[in-house]
A and B are shown apart, each in its own frame.
Chain A
Amino acid sequence: MTVSEFNKCVDDYSDGLYRFVLKNTKDGDKAKDIMQDTFEKFWHKKDEVQPGKEKSYLFTTAYHAFIDDTRKAKKKGNFSEVVESNFTYSNQYTGLQEVLENALNQLPADQKSVILLRDYEGYAYDEIAEITGLTESQVKVYIFRGRKFLQQFLGSIEQVL
């Protein structure tokens, strides 16, 4: 892979990847760090990545980076870093996207990731399985459970409103 091809990958995929990481981490600085690390690894492995698999490699690397980061944060258990909004309930929503955002943040990390990859990036089940390291049937199960939770969350909000 040439430098110009690498830079084209930056142009083509960095926005989507940043959105994916940002939605998962909910922290702009952390998301930027993961972006830097991901593209740094991609640069070092650029000759090993198969042509056409660049996007998949980037999402896989970023996914594992924030999953590792999430696990480390859980081990540390630093209460000051806990995002309070994740554990509070608010019925002052201004739109459906905001409600869904809140619901999404309450999903387990695996379910959240597969739904984001499915809806935002339009990946097929086998591609999501490749990125996340899950089996295809696990991906399906996570998507079904995630959608069910989102639907129930929307239903509970509708009842409140």
Chain B
Amino acid sequence: MSNINRNNYEAFLLDYVEQNLTAELVAELMLFLEQNPDLKAELEAFENTSFALEQLETFEHKADLKQAAVEELMIAELEGLNTAQETAQLNEAIKANEAYAVLFARYKKTILVPEQVVFSDKNSLKHKDTKVVPIYWWVSSAAAVLFVVFTLNPFVTDNNNLSSVDTRMLPVDNAQALIKEETKEVSQPSVNSSQSSVHSSQSSVNNNKKPGISNKKQVTSNHQPLNINHQPSSKKMIEIEPYKEKEYVVIEPVELVAEEKSSKEFLTVSEVLKKEAQKRLLENEVTTSSKELVAANVVAKVLGNNAEVETTEDASGEVKEYALNIGGFSFSRKIRK
């Protein structure tokens, strides 16, 4: 009984072409092809395939293929990949064929020699050795609050009094300031009223030792001290002419003297302001600090866990210094008695 049918005949055809069929199966296959003449064409196609393989055996470029293999060995030798056996094979090939020796010498030249290239902008790539502290929103907010509390507090405490301005560094550039005050004598409460009345311009003219020189010119050119008038007049005008150059009045903290009597008969405007500012600063020191301490506590409470107020007390138990710690920042301040 025949085993060959239309479902498996390809396998028998392939075996026939490769001469793997027995004589009995060959006879059976031929009988099957006689019965199915349409399949004979496929047998011819298989036979053509075997013809192509025969053509390959007569390939003309055998030498090139061999050289390619040798070149692979050469590159591998340069790369250090060859085994001892492969190196020996390569050396044999080079000895047998001079062309290979030339080729190997050329391959050796393909190894690139590193050039000395210097990057001149190294400094632009480097970073400075500074600690970078990330500033979070709450730290910057706290810093802003502290700035307001620490620096602007004197303004807030007493808006109405001009002399309450922190005058430790007060620019006295009154180039445009022309203060005219009617009827009121300039008698500040902190300055001895009997000595601090600023003489009016009119009275200054009256008391001027150099009559004929205008009042304006006199004040401007000589920084003439203002005349202190002990008897306030009903209508007086203070006219302060601008200084020529910018001047800073630096007021150092001094001991507060309750009633300082000046032996000077005349006080300049800067002296009056200086005296006033010193007095105000010393008077407000303790209260200002306590307010700041309260404000610092409020800030610490608002910020929660990230902020705290540390106080340092002296032997008597009074707070002499406090510090507001916010994150990595610490703001400390001494409380002066």
Q: Is B75 an interface residue (CB 8 A)?
A: yes
Enumerate chain B interface residues (CB-CB to A < 8 A): 71-72, 75, 78-79, 103, 106-107, 109-115, 117-119, 121-122, 124-130
Across the interface, name the chain A residue whose C-beta is closest to B130: A3
The stretch that binds B, out of A47-55, A67-75, A146-154, is A146-154
Q: How far is the CB of A76 from chain B (nearest CB, A)?
A: 27
Query: Are the C-beta atoms of A147 and B75 separated by less than 8 Å?
Result: yes
Interface size class of A (residues with CB under 8 A): 20 to 34
Residues of B within 8 A of A7 (CB): 126-127
A123 adjacent to chain B (CB < 8 Å): no
Partner of A4, one of B71, B75, B129: B129
The answer, yes or no, to whether A109 is at the interface (CB within 8 Å) is no
| B71 contact set on A, CB distance < 8 A | 148, 151
A11 at the B interface (CB under 8 A)? yes
Beyond A18-B117, A100-B110, A151-B103, whether A10 also contacts B78 by CB under 8 A is no
In the complex, the answer to whether B72 meets A120 with C-beta atoms within 8 Å is no
Could you list some 29 contacts between A and B, CB below 8 A?
Answer: A4-B129, A6-B127, A7-B126, A7-B127, A10-B125, A14-B119, A17-B119, A18-B117, A18-B119, A19-B115, A19-B117, A35-B119, A35-B121, A39-B125, A96-B109, A97-B113, A97-B115, A104-B112, A115-B112, A119-B114, A144-B75, A147-B78, A148-B71, A148-B75, A151-B71, A151-B106, A151-B110, A155-B106, A158-B106
Given known contacts A15-B119, A18-B119, A19-B117, is B129 in contact with A3 (CB within 8 Å)?
yes
B72 to chain A, nearest CB (A): 7
B112 touches A151 (CB 8 A): no
CA distance A10 to B106 in the complex (A): 37
Q: Is the CB of A32 within 8 A of B75?
A: no
The reply to whether A147 and B107 contact each other, CB–CB distance below 8 Å, is yes
Using CB atoms, name the residue of chain A closest to B119: A18
Contact of B79 among A14, A18, A143 (CB under 8 A): A143
